[in-house]
Amino acid sequence: METFVELLKTHNLKVTQQRLEILRYVESHLTHPTADEIFQSLTKKYPSLSKTTIYNTLETLTNAGIIQRLTICPTEHRYDFNHDMHHHFICKQCGKIFDIHFTCPNVETIEKDILKDGHRIEEVHGYFRGKCKDCLNKEGVKNG
Amino acid sequence: METFVELLKTHNLKVTQQRLEILRYVESHLTHPTADEIFQSLTKKYPSLSKTTIYNTLETLTNAGIIQRLTICPTEHRYDFNHDMHHHFICKQCGKIFDIHFTCPNVETIEKDILKDGHRIEEVHGYFRGKCKDCLNKEGVKNG
DNA sequence: TTTTAAGTTGTAACCATTACAATTTAACAA
DNA sequence: TTGTTAAATTGTAATGGTTACAACTTAAAA
Ligand SMILES: [Mn+2]
Ligand SMILES: [Mn+2]
Ligand SMILES: [Zn+2]
Ligand SMILES: [Zn+2]
């Protein structure tokens, strides 16, 4: 049985074509896509697919912990099939998001600090903003 | 001369009553307020103040590096007079944001990693999501 | 005091997201 | 296989934070 079918069943979610397609898309596109990007791509193959379904499904998958919602862009949500703790780099110019393959060894220390305050941590997010390699290179060409 | 007057002049920004009021508000409210919260408060004393001015001013102050924009809430921007690098804890239930007084000693290590990739870092953001002390207590009362 | 570039204001538009009601369907049981 | 039903999907309308824009006002330099 397809992995995603099992994955949905494991989480007591009904298996639908729409959910499978969205899962496949998010898993195979490591660009942290937006709901609209997913929609624009899938609507070609599945013209009846509704954007509301994209939103509903992303919400459902996020709540199930299957995917991760990134709230780090100013105007839109982005989604990540990789829900392990990892950091991101966002380019202020082109908006692209890169994974930072670095596991912060201080998370535990910070978490202890926060727990001392009495709060309960459920998610850890870290990101950096700046100008990406590609944009810096393009600029370099422009400016000599 | 008032500190904020000097601050604006230092950044070659015209000194206006609106900017001073917004600066005073953000400096004295450590709650990471939204544009609307600032507007709702100031409009009482200054009924002619426009919400557009709030947005314009927050943008200007952010670009000048005087305040910090937090892009960590799903539906709105929040602003922080403290633009030093520090982490935040956001309660999923009540939405309150707490400062985490912890300077991550690994930022430099990560930055070196990112620089190796060719990107240029300009901002560092870290935050945690979960349930805050107050909400946990309220829940505790409810559930016995 | 005069000048003007910059800031402020109110209104309209934008756009990602959500609400809602009608329709369809996955999953279960007979 | 068929019938049942709760859940999912769909299209449309509404929401709400934010931005665009043009007229008006003003801080600050000459
Ligand atoms: Mn990622
Ligand atoms: Mn803060
Ligand atoms: Zn870039
Ligand atoms: Zn709370």
Q: What's B48's domain CATH number?
A: 1.10.10.10
- B111 contacts in chain A (CB < 8 Å): 128
Contact residues for B122 (Cβ-Cβ < 8 A; gap 6+): A92, A129, A130, A131
Residues B54, B62: contact at Cβ < 8 Å?
Answer: no
Whether A17 CB is under 7 Å from strand C: yes
Does residue A109 have a pLDDT over 90? no
Residues 48-87 of A, Cβ under 7 A from nucleic strand D: 48-53, 56-57, 60, 74
Chain Cα centroid distance, residue B123: 13
Shortest-distance ligand to the CA of residue B96: 4
Q: What is the pLDDT of residues A81-94, one digit of tens each?
A: 999 889 999 999 99
In whole angstroms, D20 C1' to B131 CA is 39
B75 in the same domain as B23:
yes
pLDDT of residue B108: 77
pLDDT of residue A143: 52
* Distance of CA A36 from the midpoint of ligand 2 (Å): 31
Nearest to B70 by CA among A71, A98, A130: A71
Span of A124-138, B19-33, B64-78 with lowest mean pLDDT: A124-138
Which nucleotides in chain D lie closer than 7 A to a protein CB? 7-12, 16-21, 26-28
pLDDT confidence band for B143 (50 / 70 / 90): low
Q: What's B116's domain CATH number?
A: 3.30.1490.190
A110 in the same domain as A45:
no
Q: Domains in chain A: how many in total?
A: 2
Reported for A92-96, long-range contacts at CB under 8 A and 24+ positions apart, including other chains, are A92/A129, A92/A130, A92/A131, A92/B122, A93/A131, A93/A132, A93/A135, A94/A132, A94/A134, A94/A135, A96/A31, A96/A132, A96/A134
Chain A interface includes B71 (CB < 8 A): yes
pLDDT of residue A1: 65
* Domain end among A32, A59, A83: A83
In whole angstroms, D21 C1' to A88 CA is 36
B107 in the same domain as B36:
no
A40 in the same domain as A28:
yes
B108 in the same domain as B56:
no
pLDDT confidence band for A69 (50 / 70 / 90): very high
pLDDT of residue B1: 66
Domain that holds residue A115: 84-144
B101 in the same domain as B54:
no
Please return the burial class of A108, using the count of CB atoms within 10 Å of its CB with bins 0-12, 13-18 and 19+: exposed
Q: What is the pLDDT of residues B102-139, one digit of tens each?
A: 767 777 777 777 777 889 999 999 999 999 999 999 87
Instruction: Give the integer Cα–Cα distance in Å for A96 and A104.
Output: 22
B97 in the same domain as B58:
no
B99 in the same domain as B56:
no
B73 in the same domain as B10:
yes
B96 in the same domain as B50:
no
Identify the closest residue of chain A to B85 by CA–CA distance: A128
Q: Do B122 and A92 touch (CB under 8 A)?
A: yes
